[in-house]
Amino acid sequence: MKNYQVTAALLLMCAFVCTLSAQAAQSPRPKPAAMNDSELMQLFSGTGDNIGGCGTAYISALRERGLPAPELARADADSIYVFHTADGNFQIEYTITGTVAVDPTDLDLSGVPDYVEQVGASFERSWATEVDSLGFAAPDLGGGRYHVSLRYNGSLFGYLREAFGWPGGTTIVVHRDMRLFCPAEPESELQACATNLLLATIAHEFKHAVQFAAGWNLFLSTEWNELDATWIEDLVYDDSNDYYRYLELPLSTFNSPTRSVLVGYYERCTWHHFLSENYGSGFLVDLEQRIGANPYLAVQRHYPLIAAGRSIDWNELWGDYTVANYLSATRAVPGMGFEEAADYPLSVVEVLPEIPTDSSIAASLEEMAMRFYEFDSAGSGTNGRVQVSFSGNAAMAWTVRVVFQRAGLTEVVDVSVVAGEGTATPPHKIEDFDRVSILVGNAQVPLGAAAGAGGYTLDVGVRAVPVDEGTIGGLKGRFRRGR
């Protein structure tokens, strides 16, 4: 049995116990540009609060400002040891004395601390999944081993920094003791929390090494680097679910659907979950290669080009993404939207007056964003069909979907929008459903670092149908569509 399989077994023992347990990193961290030199240095010094998360963007900011990476200066130990992983890709540097010492516990009497062996096994599992299985770029080791250091006692889980001349061109630093990020855990769950954070961190940081190997400029498009690395955590360790806590942050797609995907860091990772779950991880391998070949092109501009190359209609893709985000938590439907939708936050909606009151709405929406409208109540003997009329800025790429839900049945209807105009009366009787919603999406891709917005009007009414018309029922499938 390979070492990384042992790590997977350890993970199963702590699955979900500590998904939301680490009190650090529950709030959005400030962006590096908003921090002064002293604040940046404190993150790595071990003198500040343990805020958790990835420090790659912050170490990049130190480099840009000509400031040193302070963890090397804190390695005040008597001896430094190096552990070589059995699968041959990594060497782990650590110490068992001094202020950056790892827990020396060695239950298997191998002569190497269990924590160090676990780190090595997790890095090998990350390589096996991200490179060997999924096909992302492999760091060029040149016959050597990738360097990992555990000589770090700062305020973050870990980080990657460039190391020219070293195997892979980068090195990864991981915190010596993840238990420090689980202060609120009872003793019985402390180790499970620490293991969960450790495994997610290693998968995340190694993805940064993979990005660098593919030619990504890690000093540009930090948001996309972090979004991508947070997504991969769930593929390497499906049961860790550490990313769930980021979905609770204010700028997640669930809490701020009207903000562009360009906004946010970790909390927007479900964009890549959607792409990989619906179009395969190959879609994101294509993205990696395109970014490597064009590192100065705004990342979001690659997505529709990849879709076109795979004969995928971009607007339809974005419309499906709006549906996936809407069908979360109590609205989740097995086989529709995200695989883990039932465990995600409930998406924010805007409430429309009770059917059959007519509604007329004027609003604007950012590029690569969405807005969800939900009627205050539906059904209640309303013998009619919902009628939707949409008119939007023709310079934008609009999607409109109508969602009908009742116990055991969810129907999704496309409203065809051409040159910003679309009208539809879905053939569903309102009284047959408990919930009726309208999802508006703006699939327009921003050209640069900031998203624009487009205006639209949405008119909603009810169209009467004959009293004796039959009710709908028995339809199944992923996204049933009608006109």
pLDDT average, residue stretch 402-429 = 94
**Does residue 328 belong to any structural domain of this protein?**
no
Confidence (pLDDT) at 174: 96
pLDDT band at 184 (very low <50, low <70, confident <90, very high): confident
CB 352 within 8 A of CB 359: yes
* In a shared domain, residues 49 and 186: yes
CB 197 within 8 A of CB 22: yes
pLDDT at 462 over 80: yes
**DSSP secondary structure string, 189-227?**
HHHHHHHHHHHHHHHHHHHHHHHHHHT--TTS-HHHHHH
Confidence (pLDDT) at 377: 67
**Does residue 481 belong to any structural domain of this protein?**
no
**Does residue 474 belong to any structural domain of this protein?**
no
Confidence (pLDDT) at 205: 97
pLDDT higher at 358 or 300: 300
* In a shared domain, residues 64 and 203: yes
* In a shared domain, residues 229 and 100: yes
pLDDT average, residue stretch 200-204 = 96
* In a shared domain, residues 231 and 354: no
- Helix (H) / strand (E) element for 400: namely strand 398-406
Structural tokens at position 425: 């009366």
pLDDT at 414 over 90: yes
**Does residue 252 belong to any structural domain of this protein?**
no
pLDDT average, residue stretch 378-398 = 85
Rounded distance between C-alpha atoms, residue 462 and residue 355, angstroms: 7
pLDDT at 416 over 70: yes
pLDDT average, residue stretch 195-213 = 96
pLDDT at 61 over 90: no
Choosing from 190, 207, 238, the residue where a domain stops is 238
Q: Based on the structure, what is the number of domains in the chain?
A: 2
* In a shared domain, residues 31 and 153: yes
453-464 and 359-366: which strand pairing? antiparallel
* In a shared domain, residues 217 and 352: no
pLDDT at 46 over 80: no
The angle, 0 to 180 degrees and rounded to 10, between the axes of the packed helices 56-64 and 37-45 is: 130
CATH code of the domain in which 421 resides: 2.60.120.380
CB 347 within 8 A of CB 326: yes
**Does residue 251 belong to any structural domain of this protein?**
no
Whole domain around residue 447: which residue ranges?
348-464
pLDDT average, residue stretch 289-306 = 94
pLDDT at 239 over 90: no
* In a shared domain, residues 33 and 164: yes
* In a shared domain, residues 225 and 353: no
Confidence (pLDDT) at 365: 98
Confidence (pLDDT) at 25: 40
pLDDT at 5 over 50: no
Confidence (pLDDT) at 68: 79
pLDDT at 351 over 60: yes
CB 344 within 8 A of CB 329: yes
Q: What is the pLDDT of residues 263-274, one digit of tens each?
A: 878 999 999 999
pTM exceeding 0.85: yes
**Does residue 267 belong to any structural domain of this protein?**
no
pLDDT at 229 over 70: yes
pLDDT band at 262 (very low <50, low <70, confident <90, very high): very high
pLDDT band at 480 (very low <50, low <70, confident <90, very high): very low
Choosing from 193, 208, 238, the residue where a domain stops is 238
Confidence (pLDDT) at 1: 35
pLDDT band at 471 (very low <50, low <70, confident <90, very high): very low
Confidence (pLDDT) at 154: 86
**Does residue 191 belong to any structural domain of this protein?**
yes
Q: What is the pLDDT of residues 97-144, one digit of tens each?
A: 888 899 999 999 999 999 999 999 999 999 999 999 999 999 999 999
Average predicted confidence (pLDDT) for the chain: 87
**Does residue 323 belong to any structural domain of this protein?**
no
pLDDT average, residue stretch 452-458 = 97
pLDDT higher at 147 or 186: 147
Choosing from 238, 265, 300, the residue where a domain stops is 238
Q: What is the pLDDT of residues 214-226, one digit of tens each?
A: 999 887 778 899 9
pLDDT at 227 over 90: yes
Q: What is the pLDDT of residues 14-26, one digit of tens each?
A: 433 333 333 334 4
Confidence (pLDDT) at 72: 57
CB 341 within 8 A of CB 328: yes
